Copies of this chain bind each other. A is one copy, B any other.
Amino acid sequence: MTAGSTFGNLFRITTWGESHGEALGVVIDGCPAGLTLDAADIQLYLDRRKPGQSRYTTQRKESDEVKILSGVFEGRTTGTPISLLVPNTSQRSADYDEIASYYRPGHADYTYDQKYGFRDYRGGGRSSGRETIGRVAAGAVALKILSELGIQVTAYTYSIGPVTIDESHFSKEAILSTPTAMPDLEAGGRAEQYLKECMNMQDSSGGSIRCRITGLPAGIGEPVFCKLDAVLANALMSIGAVKAVEIGDGVHVSSAKGSENNDAFISTEHGTQKASNHAGGILGGISDGSDVVLTVHIKPTPSISRKQQTVRSDGTPISVSVKGRHDPIIVPRAVVVVEAMCALSVLDLMLANLSAKMDYLRLIYPAHHDSH
């Protein structure tokens, strides 16, 4: 939707807030009534993205405590907008005066200036990673609904720099308990070593995140422009620093043959299923009952202490070293953001799918012939 801070059609969220404003938040419109919900359901997810939890994340102190301001009554959603707010408690603007004068490489300073004529330069303003607080808070609500319908969304770090996990070592616990959010403890160890090297070199590292959606019924997604994969691609590419989105085999399909890429259908005790899942659970833009599997690639943190060339807003060249303690990698804290965006995408399309068949209408609205 135009202006860009709204996502979704039926479960529709509007996020707001800047890195160094008074607060950030999100309004959810279209949450079905009757869901049990309290702040702890949401806090659980916000805590996974909050800073200061490991040596690889910024030391900014933010408790990121969420308040529910509307839309919940006596512990249940009412069907009206849910307004969620997270105060900024640690915004120190003093040291941003210098940043105001030049364009940081890899950041949105220059493009915001070009678009709007000026910018809120404090900590990246609206282009800060703190913008994802609203996504995660709303995603937590979507994840709770999906969970009630038997659908789970699990994201994890797939690679950091040259270190890639081995899926056969998969440990779900490791995702939440390690600073890398890798589900493979051995790879996680090597990744930490690599990150330390990057930090020593005043540099940062890229990485990738994989997400798996299980329990999703076949039939979700709309033909043509609102394909399930197209909506997911939109959702995921909208996360700052994501530069590629892959569904199923992703970039590898371009070097594959049809006989390798097609998944055979087979008949099982659970009905029709696929014998393999190169498609990543989506055929013709619609879920096929297999797990939805996708991967996103995230660029290295652009703020590095190393000297870089850039210009001031008046065009003067300048050599800068971005000060402060920055995350040497974005990936681990983005894992929960990926889960949130996947949940929001899938739930929105599940709601849209309620209009797919006359049979659903006849079920919800049995014709009633009494006049009154």
Contact = CB atoms under 8 A, between A and B. Distances in A.
**A-B interface, 10 closest residue pairs, ranked by CB to CB distance from nearest:** A108-B284, A4-B222, A150-B367, A3-B30, A234-B234, A4-B226, A204-B258, A111-B286, A230-B238, A233-B237
B114 A219 contact: yes
B371 A364 contact: no
B358 A354 contact: no
* Stoichiometry (number of copies): 4
A69 B25 contact: yes
Contacts of A244: 244-247, 250-251, 253-254
Contact of A32 (B6, B17, B356): B356
A203 B265 contact: no
Given A70-B23, A83-B16, A257-B161, A9 B9 contact: yes
> Chain A interface mostly helix, strand, loop or mixed?
mixed
Contacts of A4: 29, 222-227, 285
Nearest to A249: B243
Nearest to A84: B16
A54 B357 CA distance: 40
A116 B34 contact: yes
Contacts of A127: 223, 284-285
A101 interface: no
10 contacts: A2-B352, A7-B225, A16-B81, A34-B359, A81-B126, A110-B272, A161-B257, A198-B258, A233-B245, A289-B372
Contacts of A6: 6, 12, 14, 29, 225
Given A225-B238, A261-B299, 16 more contacts: A16-B70, A33-B356, A103-B265, A106-B283, A108-B285, A110-B283, A111-B287, A126-B223, A127-B285, A203-B259, A204-B259, A243-B246, A256-B299, A259-B308, A265-B310, A270-B370
Contacts of A273: 372
Contact of A247 (B77, B221, B230, B237): B237
Contacts of A27: 5, 14, 16, 27
A91 interface: no
A184 interface: no
A78 interface: yes
Given A2-B10, A255-B162, A125 B78 contact: yes
Contact of A286 (B115, B251, B254): B115
Interface string A127-141: 100010000000000
Contacts of A354: 351, 354-355, 360-361, 364
Given A11-B355, A265-B103, A118 B258 contact: no
A241 B63 CA distance: 43
A205 interface: yes
Given A251-B251, A363-B364, A317 B267 contact: yes
A244 to B, nearest CB: 4
A250 B244 CA distance: 5
Interface stretch (A166-174, A175-183, A206-214): A206-214
A86 B243 CA distance: 36
Interface in A89-123: 103, 105-108, 110-112, 114-120, 122
B255 A159 contact: yes
B287 A361 contact: no
A29 B15 CA distance: 9
B361 A214 contact: no
